[in-house]
Every structure is written in C-alpha cells, then in structure tokens.
C-alpha cells in the first residue's frame, strides 16, 4: 500500500506542478540530420539525409555514397572525412575491405543479406553483402569472411 500512495503522490505533484514534469528532449534541428556534400562536376553543394546513407566507398576515383532511395552521390571529399561526418550526425557505419583492398563502410541497419562470395566477384572477395539502396549493383563484395562480417555488424 505505501508504494501505491507514493506513486499517486508523485503523479499528483507532477500534475500540479507542470514545471517539475520530466522535460521532453529538444527536437534535433533538421540541418543536423543533413550533410552538405560537394558533388563532382563543379556543381553547388547538395544536402544528404544522414539517416538514408547505406554505404560509403570508392569508385572511379571518387567517394561514393549510396542511399536507401537508390540514389548514389559522388563527391571529391575523402571517404574518411565523409564517414566521420556521417557518424557524427548519428548514422552507424561499419568498416570493411573491398576486393581492391580499399575501405568500404556499410550501415548495419541497411544490410539485407550476408552470404559467401560468388565466382562473379573480383578475386579476393570472400563475402557479399546485399544492401538496401545500391544503385549500380545488387551487393557489395568484401574480403572479410561471412563470420567476420557478422561479427563487425554486431559490434
């Protein structure tokens, strides 16, 4: 009975003194959820929704950013810099190694399937990861084994 009275007393006090109620977190400003990216080709900057980033890697000499909307943004900015900014804005990325030995980062919550690499992948690929939003392929081949990929995704 005392615990019921205590809960009732706290509830009554919270209703009588709204200023003492638990404060709601401040909504995150919209600008904090977007990164300004300088695209290739000399165009002005674009804003990229951080929560939609699927993968960050390299292709044809540029940093490429795949998104859940099957839109790929290319930039001259270094991949490490993009990854740091994406992570600072709240999107978790996991570093893996592509068949050419370069780093590629994937968003664990965008992974659909992890399987052993097939013969169609480049030499050195040991696992393939199917991700939401890859514009120019169905999967990303990596040098890590399936078990290593799963361990990295779980961290």
Which region, left, alpha or beta, applies to residue 54 given φ > 0 means left and ψ of -120 to 50 means alpha?
Answer: alpha
Q: Which domains occur in the chain, in start order?
A: 28-154 (2.40.50)
Q: In terms of pLDDT, which residue wins out, 116 or 30?
A: 116
pTM: 0.77
Across the strands, what pairs with 66?
55, 72
pLDDT tens digit string along 48-59?
A: 999 999 999 999
Task: Please say if the pLDDT value at position 119 is more than 50.
Answer: yes
Is it the case that residue 4 has pLDDT exceeding 80?
A: no
Mean pLDDT of 118-138: 89
Measured CA to CA, the distance from residue 65 to residue 58 in angstroms comes to 9
Beta bridge partners of 47: 36
Nearest to 48 by CA among 75, 76, 28: 75
- Give the pLDDT confidence score for residue 123 in this predicted structure: 85
CA angle 94, 99, 100 (to 5 degrees): 105
């Amino acid at each position: 009975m005392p615990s019921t009275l205590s809960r009732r007393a706290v509830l009554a006090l919270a209703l009588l003194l709204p200023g003492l109620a638990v404060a709601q977190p401040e909504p995150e400003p919209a600008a904090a959820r977007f990164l300004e990216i300088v695209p290739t080709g000399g165009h002005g900057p674009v804003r990229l929704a951080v929560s939609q980033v699927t993968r960050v890697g390299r292709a044809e000499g540029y940093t490429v950013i795949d998104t859940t909307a099957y839109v790929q943004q290319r930039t001259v900015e270094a991949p490490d810099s993009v990854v740091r900014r994406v992570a600072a804005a709240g999107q978790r990325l996991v570093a893996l190694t592509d068949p050419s030995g370069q780093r590629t980062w994937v968003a664990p919550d965008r992974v659909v399937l992890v399987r052993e690499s097939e013969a169609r992948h480049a030499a050195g690929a040991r696992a393939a990861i199917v991700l939401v939003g890859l514009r120019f392929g169905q999967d990303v081949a990596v040098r890590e084994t399936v078990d290593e990929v799963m361990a990295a995704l779980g961290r």
